[in-house]
């Protein structure tokens, strides 16, 4: 059995890792930790009064170090863990990697943002839920 656990290094990470550990131990499952960085924002043209900040590429070394640290915590519990750092549309990239990894379960967090925010911006967990064929366990995150 294989579990794909999507983490974003927010306050959701710890509850996701705790839940992943419990499920991996109970199901004798291998875990793939995935972190997906959204594509960089670039400014195209300019309009008066419109300011778009260009974001450079994420510091891959920092993200990899954080991912490895989280993987090590699971490995110390005797769980077989791999880690993947990707960049792209977050929900779509998580789903593509889950298919590639042949995951049996996806674990992700749900921050519980407002309905308006989800309508305007979208939600990673909602995007996964709407398009997955793989069982999905959403961990509600308070705050």
CATH number of the domain that 61 lies in? 3.40.50.620
Q: Please report whether residue 6 resides in a domain.
A: yes
> Which two tokens mark 102?
């042949």
Parent domain of 32 = 2-42+52-140
For the chain, what is the domain count?
1
Q: How far is CA 33 from CA 6, 72, 137, 139, in A?
A: 6, 11, 14, 15
Q: Tokens 């131990």 correspond to what residue?
A: 25
Coil, strand or helix at 107: strand
Q: Please report whether residue 47 resides in a domain.
A: no
Residue 41 has a pLDDT of 65
What gap in Å lies between CA 32 and CA 121, rounded to an integer?
A: 27
Q: Please report whether residue 95 resides in a domain.
A: yes
> Which two tokens mark 67?
């991912």
Pick out the chain residues at pLDDT < 70.
41-58, 111-122, 143
Residue 3 has a pLDDT of 98
Question: 41: which DSSP letter?
Answer: P
Average pLDDT for the chain:
84
Q: Is the pTM of this model over 0.85?
A: no
């Amino acid at each position: 059995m294989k579990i794909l656990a999507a983490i974003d290094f927010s306050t959701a990470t710890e509850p996701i890792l705790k839940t992943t550990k419990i499920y991996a131990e109970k199901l004798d499952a291998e875990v793939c930790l995935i972190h997906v960085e959204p594509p960089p924002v670039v400014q195209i043209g300019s309009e008066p009064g419109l300011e778009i900040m260009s974001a450079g590429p994420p510091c891959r070394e920092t993200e990899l170090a954080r991912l490895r640290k989280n993987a090590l915590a699971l490995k110390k519990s005797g769980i077989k863990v791999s880690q993947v750092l990707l960049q792209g549309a977050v929900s779509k990239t998580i789903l593509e990697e889950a298919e590639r990894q042949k995951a049996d379960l996806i674990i992700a967090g749900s921050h519980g943002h407002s309905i308006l925010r989800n309508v305007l911006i979208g939600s990673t967990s909602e995007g996964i839920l709407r398009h997955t064929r793989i069982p999905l366990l959403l961990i509600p995150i308070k705050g």
